[in-house]
Structure 1
Amino acid sequence: MLKKGLYGIYKGVEFRITVDMDNNLKIMTDKKEKTDSTFEDTYQSGVYTKIVKPNELVDCVSVTPFGIIKGEKVQILQEKENKYQVATGALLVGSNLNLPRIDRDSWLGWVSKGEVKLFEEITPINPEDL
């Protein structure tokens, strides 16, 4: 599964991090076994959240997935079954990979996972800054 976004460790377990409209820092997961009675499934969607304080999180990172296709670096936007949705803002990269042009400076398309060498850019973040 494609890992993308903000992540941190809470009580020894990795969770996705988000900030709600009231600037509450929340951890979230769709894995019930990672939760306890303090987590809520507010919308009965199978996504469990809990408001936490920044000092309760450690090893927080921002994860951005990228891919290499035929020697060209592209953004990985999402995955579906055996494909990744990839994008680039570079004319030569979009042309070389035969990606559909969707805007003046944007090329976007779906490619087989087998064509992509996936890697992640991981940047440490301070949860106090969120």
Structure 2
Amino acid sequence: MIRKGEYTIYNGKEYRFIESDSVEAIELISNDKKDMENGFTYYKKNIYTKIVGVSEVKEFYSIHPYAVYKGEVFPASEERNTGKVLLATTNTELAKRMGFERADKYMYSKSVEWDEVEIIEERKPYSLD
């Protein structure tokens, strides 16, 4: 699974979150049904949420996923249909050399198997503003 978005630590466990309408609260997002035992409520298929106070969580950070493929680093995501890793670049020469296909006017992409890449995550502090 490739993680992307904003994350925080709540009760020793990492959760994705979104900012809520209240400045003092955030909404945690879980895919673990067991979290319902800890006050999460069912949202929809395999998604559970809980609103908590900002003071109840530790650190906020953004995760941006990248994949190392044949010695080059690319932004990465997971294809919903195939489950493969989707690589992207706007560098035309690099795309041609690596066998990428044009996805739109300026973007090239390529689907690869998980064992062809090393996934790395860039973490940056996130500020609630």
- The TM-score range, normalised by the shorter chain, is 0.7 to 0.9
Sort the Cα spacing of 1:82 and 1:114 in 2 relative to 1 into closer, same or farther, 3 A. Answer: farther
After TM superposition, the structure 1 = structure 2 runs for residues 34-113 of structure 1, keeping only pairs within 5 Å, are: 34-36=35-37, 38-43=39-44, 45-79=45-79, 83-113=84-114
**Paired residues of 1:85 and 1:110 also in contact (CA < 8 A):** yes
SS across alignment from 2:68: strand
Amino acid of the structure 1 residue aligned with 2:32? K
CA distance in 2, matches of 1:96, 1:3: 28
- 1:85 deviates by 0.9
Q: Distance in 1 between matches of 2:43 and 2:84?
A: 31
Q: Establish whether residue 120 from structure 1 lines up as the match of residue 104 from structure 2.
A: no
> CA offset at residue 100 of structure 1?
0.7
Deviations 1:66-117 (A, max 9, x none): 0111222111021566620111111122111111111221001211222212
- Report the residue type matching 1:84 in the other structure: V
Q: Verify the 8 A CA contact 1:41 1:48 in the aligned structure 2.
A: yes
Taking structure 1 as the reference length, the TM-score comes to 0.83
Query: Following superposition, which runs of at least 4 residues in structure 1 exceed 4 angstroms of deviation?
Result: 79-82
Q: Distance in 2 between matches of 1:39 and 1:114?
A: 35
Structure 1 vs Structure 2: percent identity of aligned residues?
29
Superimposed CA distance per residue, residues 43-74 of structure 1 (whole angstroms, 9 cap, x where no aligned partner): 3x221101122222212211111011122211
Amino acid at match of 1:69: Y
CA contact (8 A) 2:8 2:61 kept: yes
Report the residue type matching 2:29 in the other structure: M
Give the CA RMSD over aligned residues: 2.0
The aligned length equals 126
Distance 1:42 1:119 in 2: 30
Segments of structure 2 that go 5 or more residues without pairing to the other structure are none
